[in-house]
């Protein structure tokens, strides 16, 4: 990988981006941690069809997303899209939200690795150790890989992702082998039933939560061998694979539990639901493998989100409007090593604070980061949908398919964002007053960032003009670095 101006360069293929995007969604972590909540207090037995609907909505949105990715490519991803579609102040707000959200989700995984890692170590060896020790190991390894070319990280992710997916597929097959066609109850795929079974609002909220990270393909555009084709293809494939995998696995789960008993059993067992199903329908050996792959799933997701967070910080840093310019400089290897180091430092500091304060990694750290990160990305999707509509509406041809697809996504994203704010305590799993105020803190900080850009318009017009400027030319023709940008690299 070599740097050209302030841009990243690389040879990422569609497959490697797909692996990175799906790994960010943490299939095993989502199945074990989120799906039981959807079954218990979300859409209940209709959860499988809700995954299908969510996937279709994201595919509609991806039509506009793909169209934008063919016209501009930058490590800023949706931040760049918002700049082109809505202007610089909203772009600064979007950048702030993206940076906070991706760092929060990375910290969620840091806490998850520490919390569940101690459980697995004790289960397999009988030894006990502090959660922060395992989190620290994960941070060091991710930090090391984050300094290297993304191709290396994608290879690691491919191995870890294969292990977790294979484990869940074996569980699905074991259930089907014993239950037969009853593993696929027709009622669970009835789109009409999802309006009368459980809460469709909470169901959609949990479903979209399991797709978090699907949009991260955009931040690797500069590192693609052929971004015009790779980014759209990777996005479509990732959404389809994630939706199908979750829908089938949750469908088989409903079949194993019984449609009429799903909510009660899921509410009782929650996080232990799938380990119990493994003991019942497969074997204790597979259950132990599930515990291990849960950790590798969380680690893989942590690595993928670390890379996405560092690229957003790098993209914003090189434009000098919101973050220091040194964050936006490349290493000799041509990687965003400084931004990666900043993300690693943030993780170290936060873990140290929670450890010293003797706060629980699950009930405290994970809950805060889950709510903050999820809401942040849903708002980012919403802003991006509005930006895509605005961008193409100004064009003479006004592509109907692109605008309509983005509009469908926009409606559902707005509804989901409102539901998350209304049910923030449920999503975060805490009734603390600190948790309750977080949505408004996120919104307030993003507004301040937008106002900061307006100040720059008068105080530093050159810096203001650079906001969202990278990747504005057609993909494959990277814009030349400005003299001022080149000078900032020293």
Query: Residues 338, 489: contact at Cβ < 8 Å?
Result: no
CA distances, 149 to each of 5, 106, 154, 447 (Å):
17, 19, 9, 34
Rounded distance, CA 472 to CA 468, Å? 8
* Residues of the chain by 3-state class (helix, strand, coil), percent to 5: 80, 0, 20
CA distances, 26 to each of 39, 318, 483 (Å):
18, 30, 41
Rounded distance, CA 233 to CA 238, Å? 8
Q: What's the confidence (pLDDT) of residue 10?
A: 67
pTM of the model: 0.86
Measuring CA to CA, which residue among 153, 160, 136, 146 is closest to residue 29?
A: 160
Task: Name the CATH superfamily for 14-468.
Answer: Amino acid/polyamine transporter I (1.20.1740.10)
384, 385, 391, 396 alpha-carbon torsion, rounded to 10°: 160
Q: What is the pLDDT of residues 297-341, one digit of tens each?
A: 999 999 989 988 998 899 888 888 888 989 988 887 778 889 999
Rounded distance, CA 135 to CA 453, Å? 36
**Sign of the C-alpha dihedral computed for residues 146, 149, 152 and 158 taken in this order:** positive
Whether the predicted pLDDT of 37 surpasses 70: yes
Q: What's the confidence (pLDDT) of residue 289?
A: 92
**What mean pLDDT is predicted for residues 173-190?**
93
Helix (H/G/I), strand (E/B), else coil: 396 = coil
Q: What is the pLDDT of residues 83-138, one digit of tens each?
A: 989 999 999 999 999 999 999 999 999 998 998 889 888 888 888 899 999 999 99
Rounded distance, CA 114 to CA 132, Å? 6
Measuring CA to CA, which residue among 232, 417, 76, 481 is closest to residue 85?
A: 76
**What mean pLDDT is predicted for residues 260-288?**
90
Tokens of 185: 């109850």
Q: What's the confidence (pLDDT) of residue 478?
A: 41
What lies within 8 Å, CB to CB, of 196 at 6+ separation is none
Whether the predicted pLDDT of 18 surpasses 60: yes
Q: What's the confidence (pLDDT) of residue 362?
A: 81
Q: What is the pLDDT of residues 236-259, one digit of tens each?
A: 999 999 999 999 999 999 999 998
% the chain with pLDDT above 70: 92
Q: What's the confidence (pLDDT) of residue 74?
A: 65
């Amino acid at each position: 990988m070599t740097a050209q101006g302030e841009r990243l360069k690389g040879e990422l293929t569609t497959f490697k981006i797909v692996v990175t995007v799906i790994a960010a969604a943490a299939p095993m972590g989502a199945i074990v941690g989120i799906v039981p909540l959807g079954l218990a207090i979300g859409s209940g037995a209709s959860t499988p069809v809700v995954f299908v609907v969510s996937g279709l909505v994201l595919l509609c949105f991806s039509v506009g997303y793909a169209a934008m990715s063919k016209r501009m490519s930058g490590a800023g991803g949706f931040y760049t899209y918002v700049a082109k579609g809505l202007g610089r102040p909203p772009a600064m707000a979007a950048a702030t939200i993206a940076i906070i959200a991706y760092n929060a989700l990375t910290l969620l995984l840091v806490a998850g690795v520490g919390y569940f890692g101690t459980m697995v170590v004790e289960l397999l060896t009988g030894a006990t150790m502090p959660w922060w020790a395992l989190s620290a190991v994960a941070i060091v390894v991710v930090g090391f890989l984050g300094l290297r070319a993304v191709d290396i990280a994608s290879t690691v992710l491919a191995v870890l992702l294969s292990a977790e997916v294979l484990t869940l597929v074996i569980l699905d097959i074991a259930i089907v082998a014993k239950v037969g066609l009853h593993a696929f109850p027709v009622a669970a795929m009835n789109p009409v039933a999802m309006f009368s079974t459980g809460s469709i609002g909470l169901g959609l909220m949990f479903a979209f939560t399991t797709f978090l990270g699907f949009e991260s393909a955009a931040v690797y555009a500069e590192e693609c061998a052929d971004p015009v084709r790779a980014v759209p293809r990777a996005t479509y494939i990732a959404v389809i694979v994630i939706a199908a995998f979750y829908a089938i696995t949750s469908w088989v789960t409903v079949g194993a539990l019984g449609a009429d008993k799903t909510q009660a059993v899921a509410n009782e067992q929650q996080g232990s639901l799938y380990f119990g199903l493994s003991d019942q329908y497969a074997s204790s050996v597979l259950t132990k493998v599930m515990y291990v792959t849960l950790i590798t799933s969380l680690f893989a997701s942590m690595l993928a989100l670390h890379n996405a967070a560092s690229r957003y910080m790098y993209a914003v840093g090189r434009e000098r409007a919101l973050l220091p310019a040194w964050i936006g400089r490349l290493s000799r290897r041509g990687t965003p090593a400084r931004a990666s180091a900043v993300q690693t430092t943030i993780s170290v500091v936060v873990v140290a604070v929670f450890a010293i304060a003797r706060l629980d990694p699950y009930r405290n750290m994970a809950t805060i980061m889950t709510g903050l990160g999820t809401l942040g990305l849903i708002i980012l999707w919403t802003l991006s949908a509005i930006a895509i509509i605005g961008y193409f509406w100004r064009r003479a041809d006004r592509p109907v398919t692109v605008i309509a697809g983005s509009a469908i996504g926009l409606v559902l994203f707005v509804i989901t964002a409102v539901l998350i704010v209304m049910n923030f305590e449920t999503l975060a799993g805490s009734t603390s007053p600190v948790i309750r105020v977080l949505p408004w803190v996120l919104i307030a900080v993003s507004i301040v960032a937008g106002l900061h850009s307006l100040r720059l318009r008068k105080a530093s017009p050159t810096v203001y003009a650079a906001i969202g400027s990278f990747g504005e030319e057609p993909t494959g023709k990277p814009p030349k670095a400005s003299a001022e940008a080149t000078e900032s690299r020293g």
